[in-house]
Structure 1
């Protein structure tokens, strides 16, 4: 493999993103080179980090990055990667949807790649939950010399049943109005789990894996217990009692704090990582090494999306990392670039890989799309005050500005559509107010329009109740009143918040009346005036909501029912989806959402481009052309509609 010599210590030790694997379906990996100057040498051992599945992958992402850093500082070369059909990796399409064998082969490919990149003699494997089960089942086939398992899935069959139980407990509706979906058959199916594909073929393959029935590994094993459920790992130790090599069982706490419900709450288990690193170092002594080369890796991957070829380029700017997706040969100046803003503390792939799907779909339609991690998220630098996972960091708007400057400088992007969900929508909104390079905003389930100094997500959650739509329907159910009588419902908080909502809605009614009578925006609240100013500036505004989400109430408090305070404008589109949830978990809703955004942006910006060109030649043509477009199949109605069409 070709290499480049670099004298800089920082360059030598910086984690490096790269594409590897099959050319038709590449995976994304992060290479953490051994920090030989810090460690005093190289251990000639590479560690492959095997991620878990679904939501567990999202909340443990930051912890995995820190584990890679711990190991690299101790002299190990590390590869942290995404399996195919997960994270940023390419999808492998097949009729059966079987993933277990595919992911096992992915681990083998990652081990081969690490051996080639780092020139190491030995390989060790680490895995969490499902990643631990997969690592243990392939360890012998790649001649691994050590195995580190954290809260491993011991029985694939039991794990599959556990996941199905979690799915059955979901509040998502199975029946959806057919006019809302791309296809009437796009409903929540048995082959998905919290927004991720979890096919019958995958479950069947999982059911055949059981660590307690496998031969004891012929290598040292580090086994980390869960601290929320006890006893599972002890059963595995008992099954491997005839293990001929060292087996260390650790009971250090930290698992439960890492595997929180939301990524912004996750705590990196530094004590566990330190113990694991110390244990592994005993088996691989340091060796002096004179110099180190940085391998030349692939920064661009080509993916076939439908009938087009989409290139995905790994980029870095001002210490932040991202991926630019665009169609091969597309004119970057023809359409605005789309920038996807982090959803909470989730890294750039988004919940359920929503941003990966959206970016590749928009790229296939001719847009240049950047999905990146702002400071403090994923592999990007920490915030200016050295924080990670700070969802509403004040530096976020500056990060978006830097992203736009980067896209202008490298791809000559003419303007930008900022797109975000929840906190990502809030940051897009703030950036749109400040920066006239923003020609469009796609805001999905935005929950706040003002974040005050001292506000915390925890405090906001405690003060927030579910949507009015939810409570209206809940009152008609008998079980709701049973829970009220048993004291299981905070009736006082709910009633107080509902009364405040009613007060805010009455205020918007007066604002609407005053605006109509006086023909002045002075009666509007600050947020409504901000949106009116954005529209007057020529900004395309796309407001998307799940019909029963709390964000609908927040929007109604600011703009009135159906955003009537914003008035009638072709530049404002209000869209509702029914039967999804706050993050559009059901796969049908993800597909419907991506389809709608793509069609709407392509229609609006193709029209704007035609209008701009026609205005140069004939000033009267644009109105006639818009009328023709407005009567087509892709008509977008101004501020209207209760449900998606």
Structure 2
């Protein structure tokens, strides 16, 4: 397939959050007879593709087709029923099809699947009833998918010292998302080329090495269009560097919506409030401020007087967090009587774009987002609020914490810096703070680099030049900092003192060797004892984990620190 320059696409249509049988999703009713279901990738790849995938759904909805995207069980904001099983994932697609046909009134259904989601979409379509099927870089075999994940895991999971954590026998994880032995066994049995019936009359396949699958579907009687998918690595490689493959998405929109006929009557809404319930917790999708989105978790039982936790994910990860950390922590806290709000800053996840498409990383504008979130919580009776953030999210949380008296505490993980200057290079800092920046971030932008990394062809001299440039940039930043005006609120210690005087509590957590530790020593204390006196609590240094604290042991330690902070803020011994 030849990719023509993508035409200007219609303005995306605002979707509404819905919950269907424990699945959290976003739905646009549309005006056409056709409905389109987006079957996203899974785990780390979907976390990376979240924002572009949301945009694709909006573009399809803008054509008038009813559109539904959703989180699989055990992922994003869905419940954990059947989490991490092939049957549960296929059942989710079946439920989505039922919703479009029976509740939204669609007479035609299109499945659009990305990566393993494309594999799942193809398997679900083999059961019949699908009119069109679009597969973006589908995994033809489950064994092939598992091999890819094993190859990518060392770069994604790399620890701060350059080593890779040891996985239990039979287990594999990528970016904190696990693939257990039972799921791996189910996936290993998949081979789409063994299909005995066409999954749909019309099929679009984009990606490398898809000829065999395209020929198989054509032999079964399907009309198959195939082509390349340039930009795949940038789409699913890392949330920080995710980019939209414009040409491929234009092909998908055209294929999914071609020939869709208008409905004779208005499409009914999907009557499903965006509320979820689990073991001891209740959740509701909420909007507040100028287009901000979050998930408000509450205890299912009576209130305990605990503070409310406000989670802000690291970097450009959606509100569920790296490895789904925020979702898991929020539900565990709610079951123990602690409410929370996990939010997307503007330009991240499911919140609205920032003006001009600006990046939210280390931006002073995020203060407005925090203010709107605190206003929302205050209007709903929340008293004391504890902020939880990591990396750039920790920076934004610190700036809000010392300014707003409604903040009673903050847990900041891997805080890179206490202050940011507009002249600083965000991209350079991001690549330094991400543990795999010298490898993974680079390979995302250049497919040839990816192949060289996976085959062990790594240029040592090139790495040395990267490290030298990094050192020179660091020296240049420190020199410029000497001539900058003092930040609002005075020195870092003065602002920490401002928080402590009003009774707020601050906890800092770092992974061993994290690039943010020099700023801690420079501004707070060069010895652990001095830093502890000034902060009012010791700084926790977590060994054997990555920048995102993805390992189970690191998550357990972080959870314990947060529980202790909650107890202190609540006045419990």
User: Match of 2:252?
Assistant: 276
CA displacement at 1:89 relative to structure 2: 1.1
Mapping 1:310-389, distance limit 5 Å = 310-318=281-289, 319-331=291-303, 334-383=305-354, 385-387=355-357
Within 5 Å, give how 1:24-423 maps onto structure 2.
26-34=22-30, 36=31, 42=32, 44-92=33-81, 99-167=85-153, 170-172=157-159, 188-190=167-169, 191-194=171-174, 195-215=176-196, 217-226=198-207, 230=208, 232-251=209-228, 253-261=230-238, 263-282=239-258, 284-304=259-279, 309-318=280-289, 319-331=291-303, 334-383=305-354, 385-387=355-357, 390-410=360-380, 412-423=381-392
The alpha carbon displacement at 1:545 in A equals: 0.9
Shift of 1:279: 2.1
3-state SS, counterpart of residue 489 of structure 1: helix
Aligned residues of 1:465 and 1:550 also touching (Cα < 8 A): no
Q: TM-score, normalised by structure 1?
A: 0.75
Q: What is residue 534 of structure 1 aligned with on the other side?
A: 499
CA 1:64/1:545 → structure 2, altered by over 3 Å: closer, same or farther? same
CA–CA separation in structure 2 for the residues paired with 1:543 and 1:136: 46
Partner Cα separation in structure 1 for residue 345 and residue 73 of structure 2? 24
Give TM-score scaled by structure 2 length.
Answer: 0.84
Unaligned runs of 5+ in 2: 1-11, 437-457, 483-488
Within a 5 Å distance, the mapping from 1:480-491 to structure 2 comes to: 488-490=463-465
Could you say if the C-alpha distance between residues 109 and 588 of structure 1 is closer, same or farther in structure 2, counting changes exceeding 3 Å?
Answer: farther
Q: What CA distance in whole angstroms lies between the structure 1 residues aligned with 2:435 and 2:186?
A: 39
Q: Distance in 2 between matches of 1:269 and 1:501?
A: 34
Is the Cα–Cα contact under 8 Å of residues 188 and 588 in structure 1 kept in the other structure? no
DSSP 3-state at the match of 2:383: coil
> What is the aligned counterpart of 1:436 among 384, 402, 405?
405
Q: Is the 8 A contact 1:46 1:123 kept in 2?
A: yes
Whole-angstrom distance in 2 between the partners of 1:255 and 1:187: 28
Write the distance in 1 (CA, Å) between the matches of 2:434 and 2:490.
23
The 8 Å contact of residues 131 and 152 in structure 1, kept in 2 or not, is answered as: yes
Query: CA 1:603–1:110 in structure 2 vs 1: closer, same or farther (change >3 Å)?
Result: same
Residue 509 of structure 2 is aligned to residue 551 of structure 1: no
Whether the 8 Å CA contact 2:159–2:435 is kept in 1: the answer is no
Deviates more, 1:548-557 or 1:343-352: 548-557
Q: How far is the alpha carbon of 1:196 from its aligned partner? A: 1.4
Aligned length: 527
1:601 counterpart = 2:558: no
CA deviations on 1:525-582 (whole Å, 9 max, x unpaired) are: 8223222222222210010111222222332222233455556268434212110111
Q: What is the CA-CA distance between 1:360 and the residue it aligns to?
A: 1.1
Q: Distance in 2 between matches of 1:157 and 1:465?
A: 29
**How big is each residue's C-alpha offset from its partner over 1:254-307, in whole Å with a ceiling of 9 and x where there is no partner?**
33332343x23222223322222222333x432243434433312322101xxx
Alpha-carbon deviation of 1:428? 0.4
Instruction: Spell out, residue by residue over 1:465-491, the C-alpha distance to the aligned partner (whole angstroms, 9 max, x if none).
Output: 989xxxxxxxxxxxxxxx998564236
Deviations 1:168-204 (A, max 9, x none): 5654499x9xxxxxxxxx9742424121121111111
- Kindly state the Cα deviation for residue 87 of structure 1 after the two structures are TM-superposed: 1.0
1:591 Cα deviation after fit: 2.8
Q: Describe the SS at the equivalent of 1:240.
A: helix
Measure, in 1, the Cα distance between the counterparts of 2:119 and 2:246: 23
SS class of match (1:550)? coil
CA distance 1:126–1:434, change in 2 (3 Å): same
- Asked whether the 8 Å contact 2:15–2:27 carries over to 1, the reply is yes
Match of 1:581 in 2: 546
Q: Is the 8 A contact 2:103 2:268 kept in 1?
A: no
CA distance in 2, matches of 1:376, 1:370: 18
CA deviations 1:7-52 (Å, max 9, x no partner) are xxxxx9531112211xxxx121111221x3xxxxx1x121111111
Larger Rg: 1
d(CA) in 2 for partners of 1:459, 1:536: 36
